[in-house]
Structure 1
Amino acid sequence: MRGLLGIGVLIAGLGVTPAGSADMAATEVTPVEIIADDIIASDIAADDIVAGTVVNLFSVYADPLIPVAAIQTTFDVVPGKAIRLAVYDSEEAFLENARAKHQAPVDARGLAVLPLAGLEPGEYAFAVYLDLNGDGKLNRGKFLGRPKEPVAFSNGAKAKLRKPRYDEAKVTVEPGSVVVITLND
Structure 2
Amino acid sequence: MAAIAAASAGSALADSAPAPDPFAKFAADGSVVLAVQAPFAAQGGDVRLSVYDKPETFLEMAAIKHHGPVNDDGVALITLNGLEAGEYAFVAYFDANGDGKLNRSVLGVPTEPLIFSNDIKPKLRKPTFDETKVDVAPGAVVVLTMPD
Which TM bucket (shorter chain)?
Answer: 0.7 to 0.9
Verify: 1:131 aligned to 2:95, yes or no.
yes
For residues 57-96 of structure 1, the aligned pairs below 5 Å read 58-59=23-24, 61-79=26-44, 81-96=45-60
Verify: 1:177 aligned to 2:140, yes or no.
yes
Q: How far off is 1:62 after superposition?
A: 2.4
Contact 1:55 1:178 survives alignment (8 Å): no
Say which SS state the counterpart of residue 89 (structure 2) adopts.
strand
Measured in 1, the distance between the counterparts of 2:5 and 2:71 equals 25
Q: Which amino acid aligns with 1:156?
A: D
Q: CA distance change for structure 1 residues 71 and 156 in 2, over 3 Å: closer, same or farther?
A: closer
Q: How far off is 1:50 after superposition?
A: 7.1
For residues 152-171 of structure 1, the aligned pairs below 5 Å read 152-171=115-134
Q: How far off is 1:171 after superposition?
A: 1.0
Residues 157-166 or 109-118, more deviating: 109-118
Contact 1:66 1:116 survives alignment (8 Å): yes
Measured in 1, the distance between the counterparts of 2:92 and 2:38 equals 12
Q: CA distance change for structure 1 residues 177 and 158 in 2, over 3 Å: closer, same or farther?
A: same
Measured in 2, the distance between the counterparts of 1:54 and 1:89 equals 21
Measured in 1, the distance between the counterparts of 2:52 and 2:121 equals 16
Measured in 2, the distance between the counterparts of 1:155 and 1:76 equals 21
Contact 1:87 1:125 survives alignment (8 Å): yes
Matching residue within 95, 98, 106 for 1:142: 106
Q: How far off is 1:64 after superposition?
A: 1.4
Report the number of matched residues.
Answer: 135
Contact 1:56 1:176 survives alignment (8 Å): no
Look up the match of 2:13: none
Calculate the TM-score normalised by the size of structure 1: 0.63
Say which SS state the counterpart of residue 39 (structure 2) adopts.
coil
Measured in 1, the distance between the counterparts of 2:5 and 2:81 equals 21
Amino-acid identity (%): 50
Unaligned 5+ segments in structure 2 are 10-22
Look up the match of 2:69: 105
Q: How far off is 1:51 after superposition?
A: 5.2
Which has a greater percent of strand? 2
C-alpha RMSD of matched pairs (Å): 2.5
Contact 1:126 1:154 survives alignment (8 Å): yes
1:19-71 deviations in whole A, cap 9, x for unaligned? xxxxxxxxxxxxxxxxxxxxxxxxxxxxxx77567628654652212222223
Q: Which amino acid aligns with 1:72?
A: Q
Unaligned 5+ segments in structure 1 are 1-48
